[in-house]
Amino acid sequence: MQPTPAKLVLENGSVYRGTAFGHIGEASGEVVFNTALTGYQEILTDPSYAGQMVLMTYPLIGNYGITANDNESGKIWASAFIIRELSRIHSNFEATESLDTCLKRAGVVGLAGIDTRMLVREIREKGAMRGFISALDDDEDSLKKKALAVPEMSGQDLAKTVTTTENYAVENIDARFHVAAFDYGIKANILRMLQNSGCRVSVLKAGTTAEEVIKLNANGVFLSNGPGDPSAVGYAIETIKQLVDYNRTTRPLPIFGICLGHQLLSLAFGAETYKLKFGHHGSNHPVKNLQTGTIEITSQNHGFAVNMETLPADLEMTHLNLYDNTVEGVRHKTLPCFSVQYHPEAAPGPHDSHYLFGEFIELMERAKN
């Protein structure tokens, strides 16, 4: 059977021709590249990729198939998957299906056979761009118009589109702490890490109010990762401000934020955020812990960052990105509130930053006593 031709057209008119796999159809979104060598299943199911078409820099993808245990959420959130070469076979004793079959079942478009190095270079030089993939429409002018019609990522609140529709509990019979976790696009491994750290977790919709959180009488609050522009999630920023005030006036309530949660916490304290040229996506980003001087290799997935120049006096930077000197972590000087821009739970990625969950536990232990 002959492969189906397909093409990607960027908003600037650049054209990349390849072949379709997965769902044979059309897809759109912001094109971003990910430098991870493995973990394509976790990447596809990470809600932080909502509204984005993911381009993998590693050339051969699909060689270990899809397994039942590696999903980071209940569905694929990436709007399309762009690769150099799709492995014709997969070898993994846990695999239940191929990547191609998985994308077909999920209705997600795949594009293979393009020059991924050229596309990565274009994104690095010109910045992340909107794109349109089609195996149905061959008219490049038409596809460019469709790409230009895709909403820009700036100004989009996508947390409301990926958050849980109902609050739910993640139980732990040996729990020493109760954590209220905001789901702005939370990953499954974050919940596992919290469980393994001795917590039971109440997972809350993005729009949950501070009053509702306080009623839970939790030991700590977790602010999750998620997609979109942090400055557009005004209701979350307001809720976090109220929880910070509760910290100041009533009792210590430790707050730990990751990725979008880090940006929202920083905004709540008065800092500003901005859109990065092409974002940080991968599992090999070096970050310096400014408190210990150690270098961590981290997993990252974000297109916005906190502006270092706008950090208020009571918020100190704790971690620095060694690729571009952007803010990778902050903590409040007097309140039990801290956050990191990267993903200490990894999945996929290294385990260098697992210690941060221990720091959260320590803050809750102190607050409890």
DSSP-assigned states of every residue in 25-92:
SEEEEEEEEE--SS-HHHHHT-GGGTTEEEEESSSEE-TT-EETT--SSSS---SEEE-SEE-S----
Q: Is the pLDDT of residue 47 over 80?
A: yes
**Could you tell me the pLDDT band of residue 153, with boundaries at 50, 70 and 90?**
very high
pTM tops 0.85, yes or no = yes
Q: Is the pLDDT of residue 242 over 90?
A: yes
The Cα–Cα gap between 337 and 315 comes to: 9
Has 345 been annotated as catalytic?
yes
Has 259 been annotated as catalytic?
yes
For residues 119-138, average pLDDT: 97
Strand order of the sheet with strand 199-205?
Answer: 168-170, 199-205, 177-183, 220-223, 255-258, 337-340, 327-332, 315-321, 273-289, 295-306
The Cα–Cα gap between 201 and 87 comes to: 39
For residues 20-30, average pLDDT: 98
Which of 102, 199, 259, 337 is catalytic? The answer is 259
Q: Is the pLDDT of residue 285 over 90?
A: yes
DSSP-assigned states of every residue in 160-195:
HHHS-SS-EEE--TT-SEEEEEEESS--HHHHHHHH
Mean pLDDT of the chain: 97
Handedness of CA 99, 102, 106, 109 (dihedral sign): positive
Task: Name 207's Cβ contacts closer than 8 Å, sequence gap at least 6.
Answer: 160, 163, 235, 236
Has 102 been annotated as catalytic?
no
205: β partners? 183
**Could you tell me the pLDDT band of residue 180, with boundaries at 50, 70 and 90?**
very high
Which DSSP letter does residue 209 get?
-
For residues 204-227, average pLDDT: 98
The pair of three-digit structure tokens given for residue 52, joined into one six-digit string: 């984005």
Helix pair angle (260-268, 234-249), 10° resolution: 60
Task: Read off the pLDDT of residues 259-284 as tens digits, 9 standing for 90 and up.
Answer: 999 999 999 999 999 999 999 999 99
For residues 138-145, average pLDDT: 97
- Tokens 């009623």, residue? 215
CATH architecture of the domain formed by 159-368? 3-Layer(aba) Sandwich (3.40)
Phi-psi region of 259 (alpha: psi -120 to 50; beta: other; left: phi over 0): left
Q: Is the pLDDT of residue 300 over 80?
A: yes
Task: Name 275's Cβ contacts closer than 8 Å, sequence gap at least 6.
Answer: 153, 154, 229, 303, 304
For residues 306-323, average pLDDT: 98
For residues 224-237, average pLDDT: 98
Q: What stretch(es) of the chain map to CATH 3.40.50.880?
A: 159-368
**Could you tell me the pLDDT band of residue 1, with boundaries at 50, 70 and 90?**
confident
- How high is the pLDDT of residue 369? 86
The Cα–Cα gap between 88 and 314 comes to: 54
For residues 74-92, average pLDDT: 97
Is the domain defined by 5-148 classed in CATH 3.40.50.920? no
Q: Is the pLDDT of residue 305 over 90?
A: yes
Do residues 75 and 106 touch, judged by C-beta distance below 8 A? yes
Q: Is 79 exposed, middle or buried (0-12, 13-18, 19+ CB in 10 A)?
A: buried
Q: What stretch(es) of the chain map to CATH 3.50.30.20?
A: 5-148
- How high is the pLDDT of residue 246? 97
